[in-house]
């Protein structure tokens, strides 16, 4: 039996199409998708997720490096163009409110949360949010899972963690949580039923 669910954000509560993001960023900055991917994968993602490029500072850095002008408003729309809500999963999580402790654990950027939070009011009813840019740690580092467990107020053995990235789920399992790879909402309900049957309707 578990007393807390710790959920990832991307591809769990909201889908993110990174290929679309790379395509749209490449168009805006006059480069190729491959070049934009290489730039982000070459260290920018880590700085973004750790809160080292907060707010508009990522746009400023890219404008300076790539020599293209982009307004803060245009950048904000671009930077969040790849998100769509996972409505089926959101409805499932809403049915879990008050029945199990809920904590969000995400590698993310403050501007992503600024876009997603008003569109996901269910987050306001979670017992805690662990956002990498706020805490300075990223999955799969143990410290970020420990922060989530502290908010969940349960020992590792009483918490389940769902993430679409296998190595992040495996890192949780290594710390004593019930790490599970998230794939679909129906599969989530099946996994949850195995962990705590009374939570699945």
Tens digit of pLDDT for each residue in 157-167?
A: 999 999 999 99
What is the C-alpha radius of gyration for the chain, rounded to an integer number of angstroms?
18
Looking at residue 181, what is its pLDDT? 98
pLDDT of residue 38: 84
Which residues are 161's β-sheet partners?
A: 6, 179
Phi, psi of 191 (to 5 degrees): -65, -40
Task: Tell me what pLDDT residue 39 has.
Answer: 79
* Alpha carbon distance 142, 145 (integer Å): 5
pLDDT at 65: 81
| Beta-strand relationship, 4-7 and 101-106 | parallel
Q: Nearest-CA neighbor of 145 among 15, 2, 4, 1? A: 4
For the stretch 93-118, pLDDT in tens is 999 999 999 999 999 999 999 999 99
Residues of the chain with pLDDT under 70: none
């Amino acid at each position: 039996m578990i007393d807390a669910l710790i959920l990832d954000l991307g591809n769990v509560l909201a889908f993110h199409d990174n290929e679309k993001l790379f395509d749209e960023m490449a168009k805006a900055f006059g480069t190729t998708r491959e070049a934009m991917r290489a730039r982000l994968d070459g260290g920018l993602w880590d700085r973004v997720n750790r809160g080292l490029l907060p707010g508009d500072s990522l746009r400023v850095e890219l404008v300076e490096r790539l020599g293209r002008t982009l307004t803060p408003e245009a950048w904000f729309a671009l930077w969040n163009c790849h998100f769509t809500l996972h409505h089926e999963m959101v409805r499932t999580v809403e049915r879990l409110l008050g029945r199990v402790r809920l904590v969000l654990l995400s590698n993310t950027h403050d501007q992503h949360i600024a876009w997603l939070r008003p569109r996901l009011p269910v987050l306001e009813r979670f017992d805690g949010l662990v956002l990498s840019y706020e805490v300075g740690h990223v999955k799969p580092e143990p410290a970020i899972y420990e922060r989530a467990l502290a908010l969940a107020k349960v020992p590792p053995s009483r918490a389940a963690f769902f993430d679409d990235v296998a190595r992040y789920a495996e890192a949780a399992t290594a710390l004593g949580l019930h790490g599970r790879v998230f794939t679909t909402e129906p599969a989530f309900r099946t996994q949850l039923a195995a962990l705590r049957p009374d939570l699945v309707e």
